[in-house]
Chain A
Amino acid sequence: QPVLTQPPSVTGAPGQRVVITCTGTSSNIGAGHAVHWYRQLPGTAPKLLISGNNNRPSGVPDRFSVSKSGASASLAITGLQAEDEADYYCQSFDSSLSVNYVFGTGTKVTVL
């Protein structure tokens, strides 16, 4: 089962910039499939944060931005705030075996 690799944790002080990486393969991110990012608070379902190329649902501030290069993608959070503390997941489509969607391993963002 293919999976996207993320660092387990990222820590930053309020106001700082943190970056979460998402590493895939030539059958998912590297194949040009879109990458999406979700935020999950404890006890709740993941919530779409940014889809594709910086498409933010209503209410998501532009402090969150994404980029992609080759088989990797990144989520940057600038001006880190206490409310940003959560788990973050990337997601893409994988074309190695029929229809298949893959998620990242998840990154816990901690605000000091």
Chain B
Amino acid sequence: QVQLQESGPGLVKPSQTLSLTCSVSGGSISSGDFYWSWIRQSPRTGLEWIGYIHNTGNSHYSPSLQSRLTISILTSSNFFSLRLASVTAADTAIYYCARTSGISWSLDSFPLWGPGILVTVSS
């Protein structure tokens, strides 16, 4: 079955750019009508949807993060990625990649998640 795995640095300095990759295995990232998502969790903000991207490249970002955020997808290599610029300590969190249920915006859940990666923003 399809599995997701996050990778990237666990420590990022303030003001730098956080970059993570989500590798998709067991299926093609181009199959189906799914949106490939990033979600983060911290004691301060709880679970927070960051944004997502379709295999066509169509993307949507959280209004609170969109000025610093870029999500991209590389279908030939079966992964998608996250770049969050100008990070602060408030961006310290466990970052999860996830896939939507592929129904519609109004009805979508997140039935598939990666194990998560802890990213700490500190000098």
- Seen from chain A, the residues whose Cβ lies within 8 Å of a Cβ on chain B are 1, 3, 32-34, 36, 38, 44-48, 51-52, 57, 89, 91, 93, 95, 97-106
Q: Is B115 an interface residue (CB 8 A)?
A: yes
B111 and A99 form a contact (CB under 8 A): no
In addition to A51-B111, A98-B63, A105-B46, 13 A-B residue pairs with Cβ atoms within 8 Å of each other are A1-B48, A33-B106, A34-B108, A46-B96, A46-B110, A51-B101, A91-B109, A91-B110, A98-B60, A103-B46, A103-B48, A103-B49, A106-B47
Task: Count A-B contacts at CB 8 Å.
Answer: 66
Which residue on chain A has the smallest CB distance to residue B35? A99
- Seen from chain B, the residues whose Cβ lies within 8 Å of a Cβ on chain A are 45-49, 60, 62-64, 96, 101, 105-111, 113-116
Most B CB within 10 A of own CB, among A32, A57, A103 = A103
- B117, chain A: closest CB distance, angstroms: 11
Contact of A45 among B45, B105, B115 (CB under 8 A): B115
Chain B hits for A1, CB < 8 A: 45, 48, 62-64
A34 and B109 form a contact (CB under 8 A): yes
B63 and A44 form a contact (CB under 8 A): no
A100 and B47 form a contact (CB under 8 A): no
Alpha-carbon distance A91/B107, docked complex (angstroms):
10
